[in-house]
Amino acid sequence: MKKVVFVAALALVGTLLAGPVSAQPNPPSSDSISEWNQLALAAVRQQRASDADAARLYAMLNVAMYDAVNGIHNGNPHSARAHALVTESGPSDADPQAAAVSAAHTVLAALDPARASGYDDAFAADLAGIGSGHHRDVGAAWGQHVGQLVLAARADDGSTPVESQPAGTGPGKFPSAWSGVQYRNVRPFAVADAIRFVLGPPPALDSLDYAAAFAEVALLGNAAIPAPDKLATFQYWSLPAGSDQPPGEWVKIALTVSASRGLGLDDAARLMALLTMTLSDTTVATVGTKFASDHWRPAQAIPQADLDGNPLTVADPTWKPRGGNAGSPEWVSGHSSYSGAAATVLAGFFCTDAIPFDLVTDSAPGGQPRSYGSFSAAAAEAGRSRVFGGLHFEFSNQAGLKLGRDVAGEVLANKLLLTSGDTHIGACPR
């Protein structure tokens, strides 16, 4: 049945895209990986998607592109790699560039149907740029087939229907209902069991560690204390609804570094699949931790400190966070977990953390870039920004960074590796 579906797709592509036969496919370029990720970033902004929904969309797009490209090369025993989701091997005479853009088009048009006509135009332009003929048409049909398989495989992954957790009551509990908690049970892309990474409870309200973190955020995150540098850092990484969300900034970083390093199509597709699968799986553990703890934010903790049973905390009924209110429980910081995960994947893939890059986030004040000397430096600032905004305690930042690093470590150790020969250079995957 699968072969019949692919042959039907090939016939349709051949009918729609018929043209003179070209002698050879064009050399593969990573430009299509960047182009379709940029379209995905725009889709997330326009949909005002949540961070969880954004991470899932990025992963589905990049898994489809990777499996479409990788499936074509799986007949070569010296370069064959493990699949991400689609286990079929593709036709050896397919153009991998056409396969990548076709897979991307299939997934993105389905996930963002309101803008499908724009994706159709981008797909047609990409195919025209590749040329014409048998190699292109076979590649486009194969990519469409892979995209459809990815959509089918993830249709029942638990990301819908939307579920909410009721408001908590009493000291230490988040006092508002919040939605999206179904993500705690979403089927992971790359790790064996995302629930294994769900954290235990935060420091007890009556502990010294809690009091120390309380005192820090009460100062650094206080909206009443002018601190332009702290505010600017918070805003830079805030990434609210209507932005590409925290996972999207790490997609941008990966695309920037991929371009500067001159990655080809195969390597760029593998990097983006590793990164985005890790980000999506990090969502599951992060939401699971938030759901289990339902921990209050500084916005509740500081005004109500007289209820926490800790003699070392002092209530300030007028206290407000520099970054405004937040819509989910405090433990752990999602910005931190995404950042820890992404920085670890990028450092592992490139076999070094110390790669400099510039970045302009979607929420950067004045659209001004910042420069970073390493992936970990950006992750550290992203996590710390949540304390500056008064939205998280530092223990939640540190725990989130570690959660993300742990998820990434499992992905790098096991996924998208060569199927023969050495699979790692030290801790760096091959």
For residues 205 and 325, membership in a common domain is answered with yes
Global pTM value: 0.93
Averaged pLDDT for residues 274-300: 98
Averaged pLDDT for residues 179-186: 98
- Give the angle 416-188-374 at the CA atoms, nearest 5°: 60
For residues 19 and 118, membership in a common domain is answered with yes
Domain end among 154, 173, 208: 154
For residues 139 and 173, membership in a common domain is answered with no
Domain end among 122, 154, 186: 154
- Asked whether the beta carbons of 91 and 142 are under 8 A apart, the reply is yes
Tell me if residue 222 falls in helix, strand or coil: strand
Q: pLDDT tens digits, residue range 329-358?
A: 999 999 999 999 999 999 999 999 999 999
**pLDDT of residue 252 exceeding 60:** yes
Interatomic CA distance for residues 174 and 288, integer angstroms: 15
Residue entry with tokens 């979403």: 186
Q: pLDDT tens digits, residue range 139-160?
A: 999 999 999 999 999 999 999 9
**pLDDT of residue 1 exceeding 80:** no
For residues 177 and 146, membership in a common domain is answered with no
**pLDDT of residue 298 exceeding 50:** yes
- Asked whether the beta carbons of 329 and 199 are under 8 A apart, the reply is no
**97, 99, 100, 106 alpha-carbon torsion, rounded to 10°:** 140
CATH label of the domain that carries residue 271: 1.10.606.20
**pLDDT of residue 79 exceeding 90:** no
Percent of the chain at pLDDT above 90? 90
Tell me if residue 425 falls in helix, strand or coil: strand
Place 426 in a pLDDT band, splitting at 50, 70 and 90: confident
| Structural domains of the chain, count | 2
**pLDDT of residue 28 exceeding 60:** no
Residue 103 lies in domain: 2-154
**pLDDT of residue 21 exceeding 70:** no
DSSP assignment letter at 429: E
CATH label of the domain that carries residue 32: 1.20.144.10
Interatomic CA distance for residues 283 and 428, integer angstroms: 23
Q: Is 324 exposed, middle or buried (0-12, 13-18, 19+ CB in 10 A)?
A: middle
DSSP assignment letter at 215: H
Asked whether residue 319 is domain-assigned, the answer is yes
Asked whether residue 221 is domain-assigned, the answer is yes
What's the token pair of residue 75? 């007949």
Place 75 in a pLDDT band, splitting at 50, 70 and 90: low
Q: pLDDT tens digits, residue range 206-231?
A: 999 999 999 999 999 999 999 999 99
- Asked whether the beta carbons of 391 and 323 are under 8 A apart, the reply is yes
Alpha helices (H) in 79-188, listed in sequence order? 96-111, 116-130, 134-154
**Average pLDDT, whole number, for the chain?**
93
